[in-house]
Amino acid sequence: MSRFPTETIIAPASTLKDFSGHTVAGTGKEIMPADASARLYRIQNLSKTETLWFNDTGSEAAAGAPGSYALAPGGYYEFSSTHAVSVYATTVVAFSAARY
């Protein structure tokens, strides 16, 4: 049993859309457009050394900026947001991302 509350949400596999890719070094990059019908999105930092910043409020991601969150190397995050999602890193960083 988990110490943290969890929620199981059934999402048809046909609605899962892949947004994986790479950051542009030192520049915020929108990876998911706003989508009013979206339920959840997930993102994982595939770097073993670099922090990946993301913003799911529709604003551009930037290091230490309000609304941006740091995802540690290898870190994973899943949440609901219908807003655009953007990423930022100081170097080119690979990430996996999907929305359903």
Give pLDDT tens digits for 51-63: 999 999 999 999 9
**Measured on CA atoms in the order 22, 78, 3, 67, is the torsion positive or negative?**
positive
In a domain, 2, yes or no: no
All residue ranges of the chain with pLDDT < 50 are none
The number of distinct structural domains making up the chain is: 1
**What pLDDT sits at residue 4?**
63
Read off the CATH number of the domain in which 35 is found: 2.60.120.770
What's the angle, vertex CA 16, arms to CA 39 and CA 67, rounded to 5?
A: 50
In a domain, 82, yes or no: yes
In a domain, 52, yes or no: yes
In a domain, 5, yes or no: no
Gap between the Cα atoms of 15 and 89, Å rounded = 28
**What pLDDT sits at residue 57?**
96
In a domain, 8, yes or no: no
What is the rounded (10 degree) CA torsion for 49, 29, 19, 91? -20
Mean pLDDT of the residues in the chain: 92
Q: Which domain holds residue 57?
A: 17-99
